[in-house]
């Protein structure tokens, strides 16, 4: 288990894959919604295509806090359905906490970190729906900040994303630890910005471990 960074003042957490997880595999949800719109596509095919398509179309996020053009293109590419009704249905589905589960021990860990005097925030590559999800989960009041890439205009791993968090929380990069599940976006991005970066699921396997590493 990694050692708590000296001089630590704040912790930022990634959302998808760290703090939040889809209640059902995304590919299964896409396939089920596509069938309602007349397209029978295997969830396995969607699962195989989705990571590549999301990466290829990433530039469509720019300048749109709702990511409508991006998600419209992603959904059409992986399901073969270009009907706006399908995008609307999926977009609304994933806008609510009912589509997500909060990682085990996350709430308790955040409370412990803040109780130990650390500031805790969320920094995520997400669209504006993230705020509503965190509100519905009752998590927003527990956080010192929510930084959504679609709002701040910078995706991780850009150092500018981490700089926004540091400035808002009133801390230097060296006093911020970012925890997330992606090697490039979360760990390498944080370290390139002068922050500390831990890989969730590897450096710390879960939120109970994170709490022990930082608070004891």
Over 90: is that where the pLDDT of 145 sits? yes
What is the CATH T-level fold of the domain 26-98, as seen in this structure?
DNA polymerase; domain 1 (1.10.150)
Give the model's pLDDT for residue 23.
97
3-class SS at 120?
Answer: strand
Neighbouring C-alpha atoms within 13 Å toward the C-beta of 22: 10
Mean pLDDT, range 85-92, rounded to an integer? 96
pTM for this entry: 0.95
The H helix count followed by the E strand count for the chain is 10, 7
Q: Please state the domain extents for the chain.
A: 10-19+103-214, 26-98
Give the model's pLDDT for residue 29.
98
Mean pLDDT, range 168-181, rounded to an integer? 98
Give the model's pLDDT for residue 39.
92
Q: Residue 143 and residue 196: Cα distance in Å, rounded? A: 19
Give the model's pLDDT for residue 90.
97
What confidence category does residue 150 fall into, taking pLDDT thresholds of 50, 70 and 90? very high
Give the model's pLDDT for residue 102.
98
Per the CATH hierarchy, to which homologous superfamily does domain 10-19+103-214 belong?
HAD superfamily/HAD-like (3.40.50.1000)
Give the model's pLDDT for residue 1.
79
Q: Give CA 6 to chain center in angstroms.
A: 26
**What count of other Cβ atoms lies within 10 Å of the Cβ of residue 6?**
8
Over 90: is that where the pLDDT of 179 sits? yes
Give the model's pLDDT for residue 189.
98
Question: Exposed (0-12), middle (13-18) or buried (19+): which is 189, by Cβ within 10 Å?
Answer: buried
pLDDT cut 70: percent of the chain above it: 100
Pairing verdict, β 176-180 and 196-199: parallel
What confidence category does residue 216 fall into, taking pLDDT thresholds of 50, 70 and 90? confident
Q: Locate 83 and state its tokens.
A: 């009907």
What confidence category does residue 124 fall into, taking pLDDT thresholds of 50, 70 and 90? very high
């Amino acid at each position: 288990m990694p050692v708590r960074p000296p001089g630590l003042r704040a912790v930022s957490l990634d959302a998808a894959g760290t703090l939040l997880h889809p209640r059902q595999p995304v590919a299964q949800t896409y396939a089920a919604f596509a069938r309602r719109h007349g397209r029978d596509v295997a969830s396995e095919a969607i699962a195989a295509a989705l990571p590549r398509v999301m990466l290829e179309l990433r530039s469509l996020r720019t300048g749109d806090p709702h990511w409508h053009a991006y998600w419209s293109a992603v959904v059409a590419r992986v399901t073969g359905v270009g009907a706006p009704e399908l995008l609307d249905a999926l977009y609304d589905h994933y806008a609510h906490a009912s589509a997500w589960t909060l990682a085990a021990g996350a709430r308790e860990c955040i409370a412990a970190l803040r109780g130990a005097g650390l500031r805790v925030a969320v920094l995520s590559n997400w669209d504006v729906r993230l705020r509503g999800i965190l509100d519905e989960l009752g998590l927003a009041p527990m956080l010192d900040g929510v930084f959504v890439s679609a709002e701040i205009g910078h995706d991780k791993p850009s150092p500018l994303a981490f700089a926004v968090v540091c400035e808002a929380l009133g801390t230097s990069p060296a006093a911020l630890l970012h925890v997330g599940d992606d090697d490039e976006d979360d760990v390498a991005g944080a370290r390139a910005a002068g922050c500390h970066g831990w890989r969730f699921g590897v450096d710390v396997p879960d939120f109970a471990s994170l709490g022990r590493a930082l608070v004891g």
